[in-house]
Structure 1
Amino acid sequence: MSDVPYNVTADILAENDTTVYTTIDYGAYYDENISFPSPCETDDLQSFGQVFLPTLYSLVFVIGSIGNGLVVCVLAKHRNQNNLTDISLLNLAVSDLLFVFTLPFYAHFSVVGEWTFGSPMCRFVSFFHYIGFFSSTFFMILVTLDRYVIIMHAHTVARYRSWSATVALSLVVWLLSVCASLPPLIFSKVTNETGGVSCGYDQDAEERHPYIPFAINILGLLLPLTVMVACYCRILPTLVNMRSAKKHRVVRLIVCIVVAFFLFWAPYNVCILMKFMRTQQTQCRSDISLRMALTVTETVAYTHCCLNPIIYAFVGQKFMKRAAHLLRKWVPVVLLPSARDMSDSSYRKSSIVSRSSDVTTTVAM
């Protein structure tokens, strides 16, 4: 067979016994000056992720482990004196610990560039990652609802805030979190890609059943934000009318809780929706910008678990004295108040009987 020449006969048309030859010039096809579209280059994005993600994940892991671990130790030590708010804060800290304990796996994945822990670990790390995420969100909702009923319906709900009711509510929240995390357990898998072995949510399953983007946005942002805004908008007028020196500090605390939650999680949720709605015709530069924004906002959102101990626990005077007492035992050289000053016997009041003063303390816990 002879080589194909530059001028190839394309069509042969016969009319009235006359053969007409139509030729097409393909010479320009071999012109070296013609440039063809190249694949979307992501080397800069990968280099950025290999430095940015492990650094931030490591900081979140260390700070989140210390802060939430201290909350668990303090509340577990005084478990006989804990109420529904304390138990909710304890479960919230456990949720955040479960969440941050999965970050070293993803940090290693970012540094190495591939998943080296196998398929079972891929599924279980994703499973516990989302359990920590959803349970943390659900316990924040429970803390908000508990504060609402304490302030708005203090005398009515006093007899219902028992130990058995607290345990039952906690179990229900954990059960809901497990159920919400089952799709990542089922559809997460290890895949062989061009850059190496990767662990993530099955892309085909995500296209057929887009659970993750909607679950994160609805259960992780819209639901808790709606509950916070609805409850705290009812709480704030009541607090303002109370005769308490602490009311202004508590009002500022409530505003900080809502604003911090929105600022840390809203950008990440917006990027997730934009990623889900992108099409195959998305330009390379826009796709890289979106992936860069998703990387940054995801890490910023994850740092919110480090703020939970500060927002929900460390601002309470009773909790601070208990934490100082515990730290003084562990680290005697730390310059903390003396044991006599740290005694919280003077803080053991009834949040139901003395409503005007103790309600603000309950909210600030």
Structure 2
Amino acid sequence: MEDNGTTESSMTSMDPTEYYYYSEPCVTKMSALNPAVMSALFYLVFALGLFGNCVVLWVLLKVMHLKSMTDVCLLNLALSDLLTVLSLPSWALYNQGHHLGADAVCKAMAGTYHLGFYSGILFVTLMSIDRYLAIVHAVAAMRTRTLRYGVAVSLVIWTISFCAALPEAIFAAMVSEDNTTQCQRIYPAESARTWKLFRNFGENTVGLFISLPITIYCYVRILLVLRKTKNSKRGRAMKLVFAIVSIFVVFWVPYNVAVFLQTLEQLEILQSCEASQQINMALELTETIALVHCCVNPVIYAFVGEKFRKCVAKYLFRIKLYQTTSIHSKASENETSNTPL
């Protein structure tokens, strides 16, 4: 960010900031993580997230063939995570000092990242609602948990996410300063503060004020229902519920709290230079932690699902059976061809 308040780094906290209400310039270019460590983490998340989410997409499209709302939710969550992980190599190169130098690349990096950010949280929330309906209102929700409803809700989520991410792409541009080129948001001078508050409010609304309460409510209700059942798999299901809620809280709540504190700073409620420095470092650290969800989502939402695993097992069994049959067939053909007439 610059001291005129019109530019800001496209990923949350990478540049020095000078706010006009400080008596002296406050430089907040203090990184919580070494750039090399961040780049290595981005590459690792990219590799694991790409593999895991591609496997989920392949199974859903080639093996399970999208038969329910749950399948549609899993498909779109995997697509959302892929959007995020596909932007990570560019950010890793950026952290290493390899600036690609084109505004179009900067806009694509910022837009893709935030489209994945918004859609990812919303599809995780939709998964929570879907499981809540399937367990708490199993009979009543049979008509709503259909493939058609899943597609309709997914289109709404993608539309909302696109609209929320569009300003990030529009205002992103490469800026050259002090012999360095940086991908920053360039806001109009007369409305810079408004756009910053709008962005933070949007992130907090989606991640903190909507998704978190809905997710907690849905899984608390699910736990109450599971406690009353005598199913032998109840214990495993309850552990999975705790894991899902814990992972959501660990990955998303710290980042949203940091964004909320940054909003207080922009509203001049928090005005000390030390607070600004700590908030910037917290944003960088918590945003990096939040990225790891791209690797975790395929595990907790797909691979641990009984239906998902059974479909994969059946498919692998059919392949093994086909290979065994082919080997026996070829052996029989060879024996027949070697038999004298």
Q: Which residue of 2 aligns with 1:320?
A: 309
Distance 1:91 1:38 in 2: 45
Contact 2:80-2:119 at 8 Å conserved across structures: yes
Which of 24, 31, 39 is the equivalent residue of 1:45?
31
Q: How does 1:335-350 map to 2 (within 5 A)?
A: none
Correspondence 1:168 to 2:157:
no
Q: How does 1:91-240 map to 2 (within 5 A)?
A: 91-112=76-97, 115-194=99-178, 196-202=180-186, 204=189, 205-209=191-195, 210-240=197-227
Moved more, 76-85 or 217-226: 76-85
Contact 2:81-2:120 at 8 Å conserved across structures: yes
Aligned in 2, Cα 1:73/1:208: closer, same or farther, shift over 3 Å?
Answer: same
Task: For residue 186 of structure 1, report the CA deviation from its aligned partner.
Answer: 2.1
Q: Which residue of 2 aligns with 1:260?
A: 247
Aligned in 2, Cα 1:272/1:49: closer, same or farther, shift over 3 Å?
Answer: farther
- Answer 1 or 2: higher relative contact order, Cα 8 Å, separation at least 6: 2
Contact 1:190-1:200 at 8 Å conserved across structures: yes
Helix, strand or coil: the match of 1:45?
coil
Contact 1:91-1:170 at 8 Å conserved across structures: yes
Distance 1:255 1:245 in 2: 18
Aligned in 2, Cα 1:233/1:292: closer, same or farther, shift over 3 Å?
Answer: same
Q: Which amino acid in structure 2 is aligned with residue 45 of structure 1?
A: S
Q: Which amino acid in structure 1 is aligned with residue 161 of structure 2?
A: S
Residues 276-334 of structure 1 show CA distances to partners (whole Å, capped at 9, x for unaligned) of 43369633x554443333222211111012110111111123322444566789xx9xx
Task: For residue 51 of structure 1, report the CA deviation from its aligned partner.
Answer: 1.2
Q: Which residue of 2 aligns with 1:282?
A: 272
Distance 1:170 1:87 in 2: 8
Correspondence 1:249 to 2:236:
yes
Task: For residue 59 of structure 1, report the CA deviation from its aligned partner.
Answer: 0.9
Residues 235-288 of structure 1 show CA distances to partners (whole Å, capped at 9, x for unaligned) of 2111111121111111111111111111111222222233343369633x5544
Q: Which residue of 2 aligns with 1:76?
A: 61
Q: Which residue of 2 aligns with 1:20?
A: none
Residues 28-71 of structure 1 show CA distances to partners (whole Å, capped at 9, x for unaligned) of xxxxxxxxx998485x739x542121011111111111111111
Contact 1:70-1:323 at 8 Å conserved across structures: no
Q: Which residue of 2 aligns with 1:292?
A: 281
Q: Which amino acid in structure 1 is aligned with residue 75 of structure 2?
A: L
Contact 2:101-2:174 at 8 Å conserved across structures: no
Structure 1, unmatched stretches of 5+, are 1-36, 333-337, 341-365
Q: Which amino acid in structure 2 is aligned with residue 208 of structure 1?
A: T
Correspondence 1:305 to 2:290:
no
How many residues align structurally?
293
Contact 1:61-1:101 at 8 Å conserved across structures: yes
Distance 2:97 2:232 in 1: 54
Structure 2, unmatched stretches of 5+, are 1-23, 323-341
Q: Which residue of 2 aligns with 1:54?
A: 39
User: Taking every aligned residue pair, what percent have the same amino acid on both sides?
Assistant: 35
Contact 1:67-1:309 at 8 Å conserved across structures: yes
TM-score normalised to structure 2 length: 0.77
Q: How does 1:348-363 map to 2 (within 5 A)?
A: none
TM-score normalised to structure 1 length: 0.72
Q: Which amino acid in structure 2 is aligned with residue 179 of structure 1?
A: C
Distance 1:306 1:160 in 2: 30
Distance 1:120 1:241 in 2: 55
Helix, strand or coil: the match of 1:154?
coil
